[in-house]
Amino acid sequence: MDRLIYIAMTGAKHTLGRQAAVAHNLANATSAGYRAEEHRLRAVQVRGESLPTRAFVVDASVATDFTPAPLRQTGRVFDVAIQGPGWIALALPDGTEAYTRNGSLELSANGVLQTRNGIPVQGSGGPVSIPPDNEITIARDGTISVIPKTGSPNAVAAIGQIKLVNPPEQDLARGADGLFRLGDGGAAEADGNVALAAGFLEASNVNAVDQMVNMIALARQFEMQMQMLRKAEENDRASSQLLANR
């Protein structure tokens, strides 16, 4: 009977974790560039001389769905979307790099190109600074060009280039901040094949209907596991009564 308790108890615990992941996906169903999170459970044998037939349910891995999402046009100068595979590199305060598909960018008070959360975008030689009083264009390869609003209208100057990378998906790990990093903590090489679409944003790849169905299925699964625990308690009580009557 204790085998039943092991499986039901740990299964219920990790089912709650999967429900939290589905809820997080639903909360980000409209977040630009978001990649859905998936949890996979498996059975692990309990180690010990007297426990050869017992098994735990564990959350074996947290995977990410890297399926591309549709692009939507915004017409905003600082909105960019990755076309196909690839990532936008960000310069973190600790000197490392992180990667995102959310191309909703803005300028800081000092003219630094950054995310909505204030993280500078990594350029070919560090964060990209844009001088004031200029019209901005972002090319397909991430090159940022400016045209002065005063003076010669043909004085186009390239002032930097957004670093675009495309590391293997299996090498990427999602951080607590929602950004992706290389598993070894290094920096990915720039990839000239990654292309941007200016004036567009990539939608979230979360399928809200699928996630709602998953949430319902997980709720039923949790209830089934709790029923198994109640049944184990009933069996234990019945066994105790039988032994008491002997």
The domain segmentation of the chain, as residue ranges, is 2-67+206-245, 71-202
Chain centre distance of CA 200:
20
* Nearest to 14, CA basis, from 26, 25, 22: 22
Of the candidate ranges 51-60, 184-193, 233-242, the one whose mean pLDDT is the lowest: 51-60
Give, in degrees to the nearest 5, the angle at Cα 141 between 82 and 122: 75
Q: Which of 241, 237, 189, 225 is nearest to 17 (CA)?
A: 225
Residue 1 has a CB neighbour count (10 Å cut-off) of 10
* DSSP assigned state of 169: G
> Beta strands 195-198 and 172-174: pairing type?
unpaired
| CA–CA distance, 35 with 12 (Å, rounded to integer) | 26
**Calpha distance 46→58 (Å, rounded):** 11
Kindly tell me if the per-residue pLDDT of 62 is higher than 80.
no
User: Could you give the CA distance from residue 88 to residue 43 in angstroms, rounded to a whole number?
Assistant: 37
Predicted confidence (pLDDT) at residue 135 exceeds the cutoff of 70: yes
3-class DSSP state of 167: coil
Question: For a pLDDT cut of 90, what percent of the chain falls above it?
Answer: 49
- Terminal Cα-to-Cα distance of the chain (whole angstroms): 21
Question: Residue 76's pLDDT band (boundaries 50, 70, 90)?
Answer: very high
According to the model, what pLDDT value does residue 188 have?
Answer: 92
Lowest mean pLDDT across 25-39, 95-109, 142-156, 182-196: 142-156
Asked if 128 contacts 115 with a C-beta cutoff of 8 angstroms, the reply is no
Answer yes or no: is pLDDT of 200 > 80: yes
Range from 3-17, 72-86, 113-127, 223-237 carrying the lowest mean pLDDT: 3-17
* Max avg pLDDT among 10-24, 35-49, 52-66: 10-24
- What pLDDT sits at residue 12? 82
Average pLDDT over residues 130-148: 89
Can you spell out the DSSP letters for 99-133?
A: EES--BEEE-TTSBEEETTSPBBEEBTEE-B--SS
Residue 43 has what pLDDT? 63
| Better-predicted residue by pLDDT, 156 or 34 | 34
Greatest Cα pair distance, the chain, in angstroms, is 104
Of 50-59, 210-219, 236-245, give the lowest mean pLDDT range: 50-59
Q: How far is CA 159 from the centre of its chain?
A: 31
At 29-53, the pLDDT tens digits run 999 999 998 877 666 666 666 556 6
Tokens of 90: 């960000």
